[in-house]
Amino acid sequence: MRLLRTIKEQHIDMSEKGDDITLNREWCKEQVDRLSSWEILRRYVMHETSVQMTNAELCDTIGVSSTYTIRLLKSVHKRLNPKNDN
């Protein structure tokens, strides 16, 4: 059985100093899940799971507001418990 995948590739030209894609808010919003997943995977592979990472460290690493993890947890909670809208 042959598995076909469609991959959307985007060319990013970093030749000019002002074109840092990581400073683009839209790009960051689109990539935040991937960036947080990467950080968690990296820590697991590097055997750093016993070392606690603070909320501030994670948010700074992936370039989001310190309220990101709180909003993420509330979103997950709502999806798991749709009756409780706390």
pLDDT in tens, 38-55: 888 888 899 888 888 888
**Cα distance between residue 62 and residue 69, in whole Å:** 11
> 23: which 2 tokens?
């400073």
pTM score, two decimals? 0.52
Q: Which helix (H) or strand (E) holds 9?
A: none
Residues 6 or more apart whose Cβ sits within 8 Å of residue 13: 19
Rounded mean pLDDT of 12-33?
73
Those residues with Cβ within 8 angstroms of residue 63's Cβ, 6 or more apart along the chain or in another chain: 22, 28, 32, 35
What residue spans define the domains of the chain? 28-80
Q: Is the pLDDT of residue 86 over 70?
A: no
Residue 37 buriedness (CB in 10 A; 0-12 / 13-18 / 19+): exposed
Q: Is the dihedral of CA 86, 28, 53, 67 positive or negative?
A: negative
